[in-house]
Structure 1
């Protein structure tokens, strides 16, 4: 399975993991933890207990809103509880519940008052980056505490990173970490440096972040190991990725995000039988279209076009539904499917262009170049690649795409250079 939608800062999904009474920003997306109706699978205690804890927090927040129906703070707390659970389990219904609770909070609060930062965080979780600035200004005007100010700066930094303003983003991430020296702040800074090819600095920051991880919180610790695995996988370091994923699985057994990544590295290492078995189990439990895409790729690899077409169709229907419900998030989530598996190249271009308009940074630009190249629009793809190579963005995916583009453009020398740069990243 490609890294695309799973990469924390590339897709910009911010997950909140509860630690004691506070919150830690983490990230991703998937499907419900509950699995399909009648599914006899039972998650191991680690993940199951984490979900049960979040269920209790939601129930407590719901009780508070019933006890105090005119409190916008209670509605804000409920929205945050829903969002937190959604980002661990991937249940999109909880995002809708969170949106409804935030809307209710603003109705109760009246003009000029309300949970501005919470609404900005929710919009960021749904990739609505163009909607957050007014709320961040309002939150800033309320004289926030240092950790809240760090959240405001962090959101602006992520927006800058996704828009290609890398110096501005790095400055913001550093200021946020100075105000709130915690694991998620250092991870955000490390991940930004990693995307700019500064791997040694990124690794040092990741090591520091690991020392700051709250040791008594298995979700936070597993999340960090998962993300370090994603970074290693994106660099082509598959043994290191597998080691990190296995560590995450040992910390929080049963978490489908980790199991999906373990299946990825098995597929990449050639253990396709084990990978397919894992993906089929994950599809049954989660209905996540990314796992259906993975099964389609394996089916194509063994020459079973009929099975591949079945999984592609099923996944495409789910992606279309996500796009209809949340287009800003949906255009990114379904893009890798469209680029890699959809025969309709115009559909991939539509999604890639929308994704690029929303966040015109390095990752989105590379994906748009891939869409144009696949449709035979080589000159446009080359222009985008040249543009991105002239910036600080420096990833294996950029150089691999550049090599493909220069090959199609009839420039084998530049293609070779970019292929070598990709392999060294």
Structure 2
């Protein structure tokens, strides 16, 4: 979910080697936030540094960033996983890599590590909190709420809890379960006293989008970029993808493409950026480029959603035999994924079956996801 301030995995930005904490800054310029959209699109999209290129806003190279992450994972893999702190650190690193690379086995292994660690350290509040976060990631929301209740109980008995992480996770769960009354003023009125801080501004931008205000959302996303004070490439690539997704929700594919492309250029291994860039490129009838992007992200992730998208491309491109082979491959993978983690994959699988005309399957999965 997007409504997050600073979850544990953002701490992995330290892998870049010279991360820094954003300094205290004044409230974001209210005058800029009051400007009206023009030509049907937010005026902020006209700015030459939105999205910022790698030359305009430099970050650590992908090879160094991911190389450090992989090295950390390798080091932790060789340590004692029965040690709860080791298991927790390895799980956090695997989840961070999953969010970038998009390989589902990383997320599965992270969950298994956390669950195993809890058997030996059930009274560890940080471990319970990370477990609740993982359960939220895989859409096991009722179990996540139970884990948070255990965190609260441990905290009441004197356990130290990361208050910011807990608050962020509560908000994430509230959004996921539709409990909007549980959210604070920053969600309900995101433009008021917007703080000049990257994560807070990104959260408010998403809130504005949920309220149907694309213009305010876009301006807040831009403000978040202006207040990025780190060197890790992932948060910035993530921010640009969120702006692109916001534009796609309103049918602005042409305006969205530069944001997905900027994220892809900054962090080529970022699967979410690659897949959305392929979607926009295909929408604009550049089939060969879309095919190359889909093929690359499929090799990287093995994600059946992307295989299904490539199958539809091949069908439109009058390659029915290849389309059918891809569809069968996607069917097989979806069956495996739904068996291993049904809640995590039901929503995307439902869309896949809907797109391929299997309405009953889509409906059953959609109802399961309610």
- For the aligned pair, the TM-score class normalised by the smaller chain equals 0.7 to 0.9
How far apart in 2 are the matches of 1:16 and 1:111?
22
- SS of residue matched to 1:334: helix
Q: 2:265 matched to which residue of 1?
A: 250
Find the partner of 2:9 among 6, 16, 20.
16
Change (3 A) 1:304 1:113: closer
| Counterpart-to-counterpart distance in 2, 1:212 and 1:64 | 37
Q: Which secondary structure state, in structure 2, belongs to the residue aligned with residue 298 of structure 1?
A: helix
- Match for residue 421 of structure 1? none
Is the partner of 2:251 in helix, strand or coil?
Answer: coil
Q: What is the TM-score with the length of structure 1 in the denominator? A: 0.66
The aligned counterpart of 2:109 is: 97
Matched, 1:318 2:312: no
Distance 1:104 1:295, change over 3 A: closer
Offset at 1:309?
A: 2.5
Which of 241, 259, 265 does residue 280 from structure 2 map onto? Answer: 265
Structure 2 unaligned blocks of 5 or more: 22-59
Q: 1:333 aligns with which of 348, 366, 370?
A: 348
Match of 1:119 among 109, 126, 131: 131
User: Judging changes above 3 Å, is the alpha-carbon distance between structure 1 residues 114 and 214 closer, same or farther for their aligned structure 2 residues?
Assistant: closer
Distance across 1 between alignment mates of 2:292 and 2:342: 32
Q: Deviations over 1:41-85 (max 9, x none)?
A: xxxx9444332221122233345536xx5x422322222122222
- Kept in 2: contact 1:161–1:192 (CA 8 A): no
> RCO higher in 1 or 2 (8 Å CA, sep ≥ 6)?
2
Q: Distance in 1 between matches of 2:288 and 2:323?
A: 16
Asked if the contact 1:156–1:172 (Cα under 8 Å) also holds between the matched residues in 2, the reply is no
Q: 1:239 to 1:16 in 2, by over 3 A?
A: farther
Inter-partner Cα distance in structure 2 for 1:111 and 1:283: 40
2:221 — aligned with what?
Answer: 206
Alignment of 1:152 onto 2:146: no
Residue 139 of structure 1, aligned match among 151, 162, 167: 151
> Counterparts of 2:111 and 2:300 in 1: how far apart (Å)?
26
Distance 2:135 2:196 in 1: 24
RMSD after superposition? 3.3
Judged with a 3 Å threshold, the aligned counterparts in structure 2 of structure 1 residues 274 and 110 are, in CA distance, closer, same or farther, namely closer
TM-score by length of 2: 0.75
Cα distance change, pair 150–15 in 1 and its aligned pair in 2 (3 A): closer
Tell me how far apart the structure 1 counterparts of residues 69 and 229 of structure 2 sit (CA, whole Å).
17
Say whether the 8 Å CA contact 1:276–1:298 is kept in structure 2.
yes
Counterpart in 2 of 1:377? none
Name the counterpart of 2:71.
56
Distance 1:109 1:175 in 2: 40
Q: Provide the C-alpha distance between the structure 2 equivalents of 1:15 and 1:281, rounded to a whole number of angstroms.
A: 29
Output the CA distance in 2 between the equivalents of 1:107 and 1:135.
14
In structure 1, what is the Cα distance between the partners aligned to 2:245 and 2:210?
12
CA distance in 1, matches of 2:130, 2:186: 19
**CA, structure 1 residues 64+277, in 2 after alignment: closer, same or farther (shift >3 Å)?**
closer
**Mapped pair 1:345 → 2:359:** yes
